[in-house]
Amino acid sequence: MEAWYMDDSDADQRLPHKLDPDRPVSLEQLEKIGVFYWKLNADTYESDPELEKIRKENGYSYMDIITIHKDKLPNYEEKLKMFFEEHLHLDDEIRYILEGRAYFDVRDKDDRWIRICMAKGDMITLPAGIYHRFTLDETNYTKAMRLFVGEPVWKAYNRPADDFEIRQKYVNSLRCA
């Protein structure tokens, strides 16, 4: 996993969009905005005690696997467009990359975009209420596990979604961090 502040160019969303000079973002900085990360062995995800432990400790009872590729995902173009709209959810977004690569962009506390490059073996949780978006990179392929506490709710609220209680709660959580 590698993360950096994004430039604001209009170039293809699948490009890295690094600043020049590069402004890397550390795990500690991500934790301050409520983003948590684990590194796992994706080759053994079907019987991985480490993954089991994380799921148990965090109550991630639900899981499924999504393959994001033009020939595999129904309504591929439409879904990718939706994923890249800035949005929030009322629950945490938990993703584990099993194959390929992808970018998760999150807003920092000053509303600047941080790009998180997620590759095979990277698992992440984005807190409920954080504004974020998702895109494939130039390789145009990823396979990811989606985890959820209880029955999954995929509903996304596009920005502006500032009136939700969860958004207020999230914003308040940044204050003393």
Residues found near ligand KMT in the complex (CB under 6 A): 66, 83, 93, 95, 134, 144, 156
Residue 105 contacts Ni ion per CB under 5 A: no
**Comparison of 22 and 158: residue with beta carbon closer to ligand KMT:** 158
Distance between CA atoms of 124 and 104, rounded to whole angstroms? 9
Query: Is the Cβ–Cβ distance between 32 and 116 less than 8 Å?
Result: no
**Residue with token string 């396979």:** 143
| Beta carbon of residue 144, minimum distance to ligand KMT (angstroms, whole number) | 4
Kindly tell me which residue out of 93, 105, 122, 137 binds Ni ion, with binding defined by CB under 5 A.
93
> Judged by CB under 5 A, which stretch of 16-24, 58-66, 91-99, 107-115 contacts Ni ion?
91-99
Is 69 assigned to a binding site? no
Query: Interface with Ni ion by CB under 5 A: which range of 14-22, 41-49, 86-94, 95-103?
Result: 86-94
- Tell me the three state secondary structure of residue 75: coil
* Burial of 121 per CB tally in 10 Å (0-12, 13-18, 19+): middle
Instruction: Round to whole Å and give the CA distance between 69 and 71.
Output: 6
Residue 17 marked as a ligand binder: no
Minimum CB distance to ligand KMT smaller for 25 or for 118: 118
Residue 66 C-beta: closest distance to Ni ion, Å: 12
CB 98 within 8 A of CB 145: yes
* φ/ψ (deg, to 5) at 102: -165, 165
**From the centroid of its chain, how far is CA 74?**
21
Q: Nearest residue by C-beta to Ni ion?
A: 93
What is the residue whose two structure tokens read 């504004």? Answer: 131
Measured from the CB atom, is 93 or 137 closer to ligand KMT?
A: 93
* Binding-site residues from annotation for Fe(2+): 87, 89, 93, 132
Rule CB under 5 A: which residues touch Ni ion? 93
